[in-house]
């Protein structure tokens, strides 16, 4: 039964309009977007369901995986295609492995291509999210698991997957546990937020997409917080001129990606009773 608080929201910033549609197809396992559509994913122990919505929040189709399927938290696409990292059980080895799925975008969802990206003989990758720049996909690897012992060890890499050659390579970061990944509007930079509970501090990495050079910014140090929960990064966004806006703790941080400089810090709440939700930029 549909509950009153289960909705899909569509916001038109140009017109200042909000459309709310009741739906129980909300994104409790993962979410993604393309140029024209918003996607939600709901995974169970037996299957997985992918739902596309148009810009007005109207559900237009669905796709069902017939066995348990767990997506990366974020997925993306463009030019008529949707890309997802999906983890499923290998029927032969009985081990859960990750594959890159390519769907056609929008109506009449169907799988166009599937490629195994867990091809290492000794361990499995824990992919967390997905971003696309030109003909490359990027996905953080937060940890890896030994295929035989199942021991989990931290990782500090970003997988780069070339859609033309179908080959992958890795970008090594300064810190472990990269999690959610975002691209700047200029597509000159990738920003990945690290998992604070595992890293024991709050921060993000900036990757130059032209040469893969990267560095880590410790938000815990900027906010002078010894308790990393008080400097947690809620969300971030960029401007067209490569400025980064970050909601962290009780503050808004304004950061210059080109010059690697913090421009300002503005406190927006006086205590921890309120939680920022999101920041939008044009």
pLDDT digits (tens, 9 = 90+) for 238-279: 999 999 999 998 889 999 999 999 999 998 877 666 666 677
Query: What pLDDT does 124 receive?
Result: 96
The alpha carbon of 270 is separated from its chain's Cα centroid by a whole number of angstroms, namely: 29
Contact by Cβ (8 Å): 85, 76: no
> What gap in Å lies between CA 271 and CA 259, rounded to an integer?
31
Distance CA 40, CA 248 (A): 26
The partner residues of 193 in beta bridges, in order of sequence, read 180, 204
Mean pLDDT of the chain: 91
Average pLDDT over residues 108-128: 95
What is the structure's pLDDT at 147? 93
CA 155 to CA 223: how far, in whole Å?
Answer: 26
| More confident: 107 or 229 | 107
* Model confidence pLDDT, tens digit, residues 193-218: 999 999 999 999 999 999 999 999 99
pLDDT of amino acid 276: 63
Token pair of 169 as six digits: 């390579």
- The H-assigned helical ranges of the chain are 196-199, 219-222
Q: Which of 5-14, 19-28, 84-93, 100-109 is predicted least confidently?
A: 5-14
SS3 33: strand
* Whether residue 184 has pLDDT greater than 70: yes
Residue 4 pLDDT exceeds 80: no
pLDDT band at 1, cuts 50/70/90?
very low
Residues for the chain: how many in total? 282
Task: Judge whether residue 2 has pLDDT over 50.
Answer: no
């Amino acid at each position: 039964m549909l509950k009153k608080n289960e909705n899909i929201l569509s916001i038109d910033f140009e017109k200042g309009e909000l459309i709310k549609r009741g739906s129980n197809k909300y994104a409790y396992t993962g979410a993604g977007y393309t140029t024209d559509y918003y996607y939600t994913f709901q995974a169970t122990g037996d299957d997985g369901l992918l739902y596309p919505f148009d810009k007005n929040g109207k559900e237009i189709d669905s796709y069902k995986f017939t066995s348990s399927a767990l997506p990366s938290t974020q997925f993306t696409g463009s030019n008529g295609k949707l890309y997802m990292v999906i983890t499923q059980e290998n029927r032969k080895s009985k081990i859960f492995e990750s594959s890159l799925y390519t769907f056609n975008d929008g109506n009449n969802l169907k799988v166009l291509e599937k490629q195994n990206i867990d091809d290492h003989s000794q361990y499995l990758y824990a992919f967390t999210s997905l971003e696309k720049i030109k003909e490359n996909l990027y996905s953080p690897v937060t940890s890896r698991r030994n295929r035989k012992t199942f021991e989990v060890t931290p990782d500090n890499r970003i997988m780069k997957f070339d859609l033309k050659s179908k080959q992958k390579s890795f970008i090594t970061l300064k810190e472990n546990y990269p999690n959610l990944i975002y691209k700047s509007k200029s597509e000159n930079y990738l920003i990945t937020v690290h998992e604070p509970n595992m890293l024991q501090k709050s921060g993000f990495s900036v990757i130059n997409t032209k040469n893969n050079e990267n560095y880590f910014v410790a938000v815990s140090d900027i906010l002078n917080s010894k308790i990393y929960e008080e400097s947690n990064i809620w969300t971030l966004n960029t401007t067209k001129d490569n400025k980064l806006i970050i909601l962290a703790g009780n503050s808004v941080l304004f950061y210059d990606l080109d010059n690697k400089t913090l421009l300002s810090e503005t406190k927006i709440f006086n205590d921890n009773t309120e939680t920022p939700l999101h920041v939008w930029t044009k």
